[in-house]
Amino acid sequence: MIEVKELTKRYGRRYAIDGLSFSIQRGEVLGFLGPNGAGKSTTMKILSGFIYPSTGTAKIDGFDVREDALAAKALIGYLPEQPPVYMQMTVTDYIDFAAGLRHVPSQARKEAIQYALKRCGLLDVQSRIIGNLSKGYRQRVGLAQAIVHNPPVLILDEPTVGLDPKQIIEIRDLIRELGQDHTIILSTHILSEVQVLCSRVIVIDSGKIRAQDTISGLAAKLKNRRQVRVIVRVTGSAGSNDDSFRDSIGVLQGVDLVERQESDEMLPKDLLTEANIQLWHVESSKEKDMRSEIAKSSIASGFELLELRELEMSLEDAFVKLIDQDEASEVSHA
Amino acid sequence: MLDALWIARREFRSYFASPIAYIVIAVFLFLIGYMFFNLLGYFQGQVQSFMRMSQGPKPTVTNLIVSPLFGNINVVLLFIIPFITMRLFAEERKEHTAELLLTAPVSPLQIVVGKFLAAYALVSLMILGTTACSLTLIFASNVDKGVLLGCYVGILLVAAAYIAIGLFWSACTENQIVAAAATFGSLLFLWLVAWGAHHAGYFWKEVLEQASIIVHFNSFARGIIDTNDVIYYLVLVGLGVFGAYTTFDANQWGNS
């Protein structure tokens, strides 16, 4: 339903997002998790057609967000970080305007408005001026605007930010309900929100995808394991078959798994083309840092060690940051 | 063009949701009414002195009331239109409602045209209010109706050009005051630009006069509708609308 390839957005020399690739199936509820400034909003703005990417493509149901902008926009409902509401309008007038803007035919419009108001719990305030409503209600008006034309895809940028706990629960219930018949991509910096709402999660930080998994898969990764990624160059003295590296590392005390990985998006470009490069994934128990032993052992076996990096730490770091920010979630962000 | 009308409808209504429309219309009509009243008095004085002296050209309603009145309407529009156009895009950007428009399946050109039409409808409504003066003249004197018609065509074209320029400046900033100031400055410059013609060479004299908003208005005030003048104003409208369109569209490149 959504297909994103090598998406990059640059502001001057700064990359807001850098080479994102992912896809979302029809009916999926995908969570975009990351700290403030990670590039979540930028990605969503591009998907919604509000800004264009610097390079790369994004397609909604096959329509490119830039080349077939109007066709792509017709398929989405978008709730930006700040609900795009006209403060001086009444709720009904505003939803009516949004419906017309999305070409809901005039004979079906009344029904569509009632549907959106009802689903977002706005029937009681429908004739009030939006500027006089509380923040939670404005957020709901923003959501009603996004669903009034019943679009197949919903893009929700931090839908629960700034709401009180009761409102958060209500909005989450609503999103879960909408998830039954819509493809939804939502961003958040709250880990638990992803857990209750999403079928799959993409962790993004500093404009790059750090992890992409189902909730249970992600949880398993976060469990007590250390993961180390090793890039080696095979030289003459080391055996070129897969087994020699596995043998030399696998015998180390504490190593549970040694696995060759075929290709990796994170592999540096100049290494991709070289034939003698091997990429390995080593898992060990939490208790012991294996890196220095892995390094010694691989060099002793005659491999040139090009990179040795603990993977899960960076992911955990991301989560620690997330949790820190969770407490300061009311702070406004760029 | 239906999207443009839908956007124009909301925009036009929003003028009346705040005090802007009421204040602007009231100020405009008060000023024009006061000027009209004084022009009538001046005309009466001229007629009396003509009767006494019986010499010189016979004062006419057309020359002494209609032409100066529309000149004055033009001046008042110069001051008022920046206040009408300043919010068109600046407010959308400030309040983040531009996101609603730009993520709807509506082309940016339709949005820009819709905004233009809304402001134009409001200004047309203001100008419609001046028909009270015109009707008084038509019923009470032998005013040249051709000249009156020419004046209305001229003032509607001038207003369209002012609005288009204001539209452009509003698309350039999210600060309404900046938009209004830039609009007023540009319009005033287009008024004064012909001053340079006095001490310019033949070529530049021609260029500066052709660029002037006032020079092109003069023939309308004499009841002459010259295609040259009509084209001048339509070009200004085109430039303003196109400039607003490209600026607004450029926001999608992510500079906002």
pLDDT in tens, B37-96: 999 999 989 888 888 887 777 888 888 888 899 999 999 999 999 999 999 999 998 888
- List Cα–Cα distances, B154 to B117, B124, B239, in angstroms: 18, 12, 18
Q: What is the pLDDT of residue A265?
A: 63
Phi, psi of A9 (to 5 degrees): -130, 125
- How distant is the Cα of A101 from the closest Cα of chain B, in angstroms? 6
**What's the ipTM?**
0.88
- Between residues 194 and 253 of chain B, which touch chain A (CB distance below 8 Å)? 251-253
Phi, psi of A301 (to 5 degrees): -85, 0
Partners of B98 on chain A (C-beta within 8 Å) are 84
Q: What is the pLDDT of residue A199?
A: 87
> Which of A75-89, A129-143, B153-167, B215-229 is predicted with the least confidence, judged by mean pLDDT?
B215-229
Partners of B17 on chain A (C-beta within 8 Å) are 88-89
Partners of B103 on chain A (C-beta within 8 Å) are 48-50, 73, 76, 78, 80
pLDDT(B184) > 90 = yes
| Residue A216: alpha-carbon gap to chain centroid | 16
Three-state DSSP state, A104: coil
Q: What is the pLDDT of residue A87?
A: 93
Three-state DSSP state, B18: coil
Contact B106 A48 (CB under 8 A): no
Contact B105 A52 (CB under 8 A): no
Interface check B57 vs A, CB under 8 A: no
Q: What is the pLDDT of residue A323?
A: 43
Q: In which element (H, E) is residue B77 found?
A: helix B67-85
Q: What is the pLDDT of residue B118?
A: 96
Q: What is the pLDDT of residue A232?
A: 85
Q: In which element (H, E) is residue A98 found?
A: helix A91-101
The answer to whether the beta carbons of residues A135 and A162 sit under 8 Å apart is yes
| Per-run averaged pLDDT (10 residues), chain A, 334 residues | 90 87 90 84 92 91 91 94 93 95 92 92 93 90 93 92 81 88 88 83 84 74 71 72 78 81 69 78 78 87 85 53 42 38
Contact A89 B14 (CB under 8 A): yes
Query: HSE on the CB side for A199, CA within 13 Å?
Result: 13
Interface check B22 vs A, CB under 8 A: no
Q: What are the tens digits of pLDDT across the range A56-110? A: 999 999 999 988 999 999 999 999 989 999 999 999 999 999 999 999 998 999 9
Q: What is the pLDDT of residue A225?
A: 66
Arithmetic mean of pLDDT over chain B: 90
Q: Which residue has the higher pLDDT, B11 or A204?
A: B11
Q: What is the pLDDT of residue A326?
A: 41
- How distant is the Cα of A330 from the closest Cα of chain B, in angstroms? 19
Q: What are the tens digits of pLDDT across the range B109-134? A: 999 999 999 999 999 999 999 998 88
The pair of three-digit structure tokens given for residue B121, joined into one six-digit string: 């409808």
Q: Which residue has the higher pLDDT, B4 or A270?
A: B4
Buried-state track B1-40, b at ≥16 Cβ within 10 A, e below 16: eebbebbbbbbbebbebeebbeebbeebbebbeebbeebb
Contact partners, residue A271, CB within 8 Å, separation at least 6: A231, A277, A306
| Residue B142: alpha-carbon gap to chain centroid | 28
